[in-house]
Chain A
Amino acid sequence: MSDTIDTNRAPASQTGHVIPPVEDGGMIGSRVTLTIDGQEVKVPLGTTILEAAKKVGIRIPTLCAHPDLCEAGLCRICLVEVEGMRTLQASCAYPVHSPLKIHTHTRKVRQARRHIIDLMLSKHYGECYACGRNNNCELQALAKEYGVDFFRFGHPDKPLFAKDESSHSVIRDMNKCVLCRRCVRTCIDLQEVGVLEAIGRGDQTRIETFMDKPLADVVCINCGQCINRCPTGALRANDPTDEVWAAIDDPKKHVVIQTAPAPRAAIGECFGLEPGNPLTFELNTAMRLCGFDKVFDTNFTADLTIFEEGAELLMRLQDALKTKKGPVFLPQFTSCSPGWVKYLEHFYPEYIPNLSSAKSPQQMFGAVIKTYYAQLNGLDPKDIVTVALMPCSAKKFECNRPEMVDSGFKDVDYGLTTRELAKMIQEAGIDLPNMAKSDFDSPFGSATGSGVIFGTTGGVMEAALRTVIELVVGIKVENLFDHADIIPLRGMDGVKYVELTIPSVGEVPAILKPLFESWDFLKGVTVKVAVAHGTANAHKVMEDLKNGGPLSQCHFIEFMGCPGGCIGGGGQPIPTSQAIREARSKAIYAEDSAYPIRKSHENPAVLELYGKFLTEGPCSHKSHKLLHTHYTPRGKYIAE
C-alpha cells in the first residue's frame, strides 16, 4: 500500500543518486572488495564508502548525512582519500563499484576536515555554554575531535541574523546554521511540508522560509522534525521552562503536569540510558521533587478520546449505513496529532469535516482539570497551571490555539518537550534513572495499555479497535487477536491497512444508549481502517483519497504528523533514527502488555468521569463543549 503513489520529491540536487545495493546473489561481480586503512571489506556494489567503513569499525565523521535523509555530500566533513584520485571524496555519497584503496585519516584528509570545521566556526555566532545544544551538538563534537583550540579563520562577534521567534513551536537562529540542509531535506523530503529551502547562492546562501517570512506566517506544521535533525542549535523548540518554574515557585499556583507515554519512553536518553528504557514511574517521583503539585497520566484522556472519537465514528457509520441523513464524511480522521491537524488545515482544508471533532488528549485533559478536577478539589481554575509533557513541538502551538479555552481559561498553559523537562530535572539536581518509582495522582490514576500505545504509530487505531470490537461485537477482543495485540497495525511501514468484518453484534452498552438503539447497522460490515505516520505518508494517503483510490473506502484513518508517531516527535531527545524510534516503540508495547487493564472502555477513572461529570455520556452536549473542537481552513496560499 505504501508504494502506491510515489511522492519522493527531494530537491534533486540533494537526492543524489541512490543505487539500490545489489544483494549478494552468489553472482560474480555483485560484490566488491575495498581496502580501507589497510583492512579489506567485501560489500555489495553501490555501498557507500561510509557504510563500508562502518562494517569494519572505522568511524568517519559526518555532519550533513543523516540516517533518515537522502544523501547530500555537501558539508564535506566525511572526505576520504582514494588512491589514484586527485581530489578527496565524500564517503557518504560515494557508491563503490570497483575495488578502491581508501585512507580515512591521511594528513590531507585531516587538514581538509580541520579547515572545514574552522570555516563553519568562522560563521557560527555564539558561545557553546550559552546554547541549548551544549554537549549535544555535532559541530561542537567535531571541533573537539579535531582539536580546535582557536578560531583559525575568525569568529563572528555579533549576530548576523535576527532570530525568528514568531512560532509557538519552533525557533530559528540562523546564526548557528552550518547549512548542512538537513532541515531542508527533512521538511521537503521526509515530511513533504516544504517550509524551508536554501535561498540565494554563493556566500549569500541561507536557509529560509518562503519570501523570508516568519515561521508563524508560513505553512509550518510545527512538527519539529527539523529540530530533531539539526546538528547545532540553529533550530530549537520554543522553551517555556522559565514560565513553568515561575509557576512552581508561586505559592498561589496549583501546578499540575500531565505526561504522555512517548516522552516517558524516551526521557532516559537525556540521562545517558539507551533508547527503549521507559522511566514512567521514576518520572512521577522526579516531577514531584521538582515541585509539581500533581502528576497525571495523559493516558486518562487518551482513553477518554477513544470514547469520544469512537462514538463519533460509530455515529458517522450510523448516519452512513442506517439513517442515511445528510452528507456523511468518511473516512473519519484522527485529530490527536496537532502537526497532522495543521497539515490538513493547510494542504487539504476541504477534508476538515472528516477530522474527528474530538480534541487531543492533551487538550481534553486541560479542559477536564480546569473544570471537573477544580470542582472536585475546590480549586479556583484561575489558580491552576496545567503543564503538559509531550514528545511534541506542535503541542505548544496547539495549546495556544485561540479556541482552546473551553474551561473558561487557557485549558493547557504550557507544553513542555521531553528535552525541556529533562533539563528541568537536571537543573533540580535529580538523578532521574535512580529515582524511586511512584504512581500517578488520583482522581485520574493509572490508565490503560490502550492509552499507552497512543504514543506510537498505529496505537490509536489499535486502542480504538480494541474498544469498538468489544462494545459492538460484544466479545472479548482476545478472542480475535492473541493478547489483544492487533499486530497488523504495528510496525514502521509508512501506510498500514487493516480490514475487519463484524461477524455479529451485541447489545449497545448503557453508556452509548443515548446515541444508538442497536448495532444492527454494523452487522456483516467490513470495517476498513488505515494508519499513516509522518506527513509524507499522510500526503500519499490524502492523494489516494482525492483520486478515489482504495484508501477512500476506509472508515477510519489514523494520522500522525511525525515518523513513528509520537515516539518520533519533534520534542523527543536528539538524535533520532529508525532504530531509536523502534526501540522506543518496543518499550511502549512492553508497557502496554504490562498493564492490568488494557482497554480504554475499562478505565475506571474514565467511567467515573462519565458517571459523575459528563453524565450524558460521550458526544453529548456537555462533552462537546469541553472535549470537542473545531478547525481552521488555512489553505496553502500566503498573502503577500
Chain B
Amino acid sequence: MLVTEQERLKSDIGTWLQRFGNDRAALIPVLQEIQKKYARVSEYGMQVLADQLGIHPVEVYSVVSFYSFLDHRPQGKFVIRLCRTISCDMQGKARVAQQLESDLGITFGETTPDGKFSLEWANCLGMCDQGPAVLVNDIIYTRVTPATVHDILETCRKTFGVYALESSHEEGHA
C-alpha cells in the first residue's frame, strides 16, 4: 500500500472514530466505512484501528473474518451477491449463477482482474417471494433471470469512466 494511501486511511479512521465514538463499539461501524470506501480492510487499516481502540490487531482480524460483508482481500467496485438459499434455489438460482460466472469470466469467491466485480454467494437476502435475488453493493435486484444478468452488469458498467471513479471516492464521506 502506498504511503499516501496509508496516510489517507489513517486520517479517515480518525474521522470515523470521532463520529462513532472511540471505543470498541465503534469497531464494526468503522470497519464498514473502511470496507465501503476502500473495498477492503487492509492489514494496515486493521492495525491502525486496533491501535486507536486499544485492542489487538488479531482481534480486529478476528472480527473481519467473522462477518461476510467485511473482507481483508481487495473486493471489486461492485460486489455481486447471489442468494443461494432454498427459495431462490427453487426459482432458478443455479442458472443465474451460471450466467453470472459466464458474463464475468470468474467463479464465485473471485474478483475480476480489472478489480471491478466480485462475485459472492449470499445467504437469504429476504426476497424469497420474488427470487432469484441479487444484491449489488447495496442495491437489490429481484426475479433475476439469466437474460437479465447482462442488464444488471451493464448498469454497473455505465457508472465507470473518469467521472464515475471520482465520485466513487466521495461515497465514503456521504
Binding site for B on A (CB under 8 A): 9, 11, 188, 193-201, 208-211, 218, 636-638, 640
Contact = CB atoms under 8 A, between A and B. Distances in A.
Contact of A11 (B1, B46, B59): B59
Contact of A209 (B42, B58, B65): B58
A188 B59 contact: yes
Contacts of A198: 62
A640 B58 contact: no
A640 B44 contact: yes
Contact of B43 (A11, A188, A195, A640): A640
Chain B binding surface, main DSSP class: helix
A596 B127 CA distance: 83
Interface in B64-109: 65-66, 72
B88 to A, nearest CB: 20
Contacts of B58: 194-197, 208-210, 218
B69 to A, nearest CB: 13
B65 A199 contact: yes
Contacts, number: 54
B14 interface: no
B1, B46, B51, B65 pick with most chain A CB within 10 angstroms: B65
B61 A638 contact: no
B103 to A, nearest CB: 28
B61 A210 contact: yes
A199 B63 CA distance: 8
B10 to A, nearest CB: 12
A208 B57 CA distance: 12
Interface residues of B, number: 18
A199 B44 contact: no
A198 B56 CA distance: 13
Given A198-B62, A200-B65, A201-B65, A638 B55 contact: no
B171 to A, nearest CB: 25
B72 A636 contact: no
Contact of A194 (B1, B42, B44, B56): B56
Given A636-B51, A640-B1, A194 B59 contact: yes
19 contacts: A11-B62, A194-B56, A194-B57, A194-B58, A194-B59, A195-B56, A196-B58, A197-B56, A201-B65, A208-B58, A210-B56, A210-B58, A210-B61, A211-B43, A636-B57, A637-B47, A637-B51, A638-B57, A640-B42
Nearest to B43: A640
Contacts of A197: 56, 58-59, 61-62
B59 A638 contact: no
Contacts of A211: 43, 46, 61, 72
B51 A201 contact: no
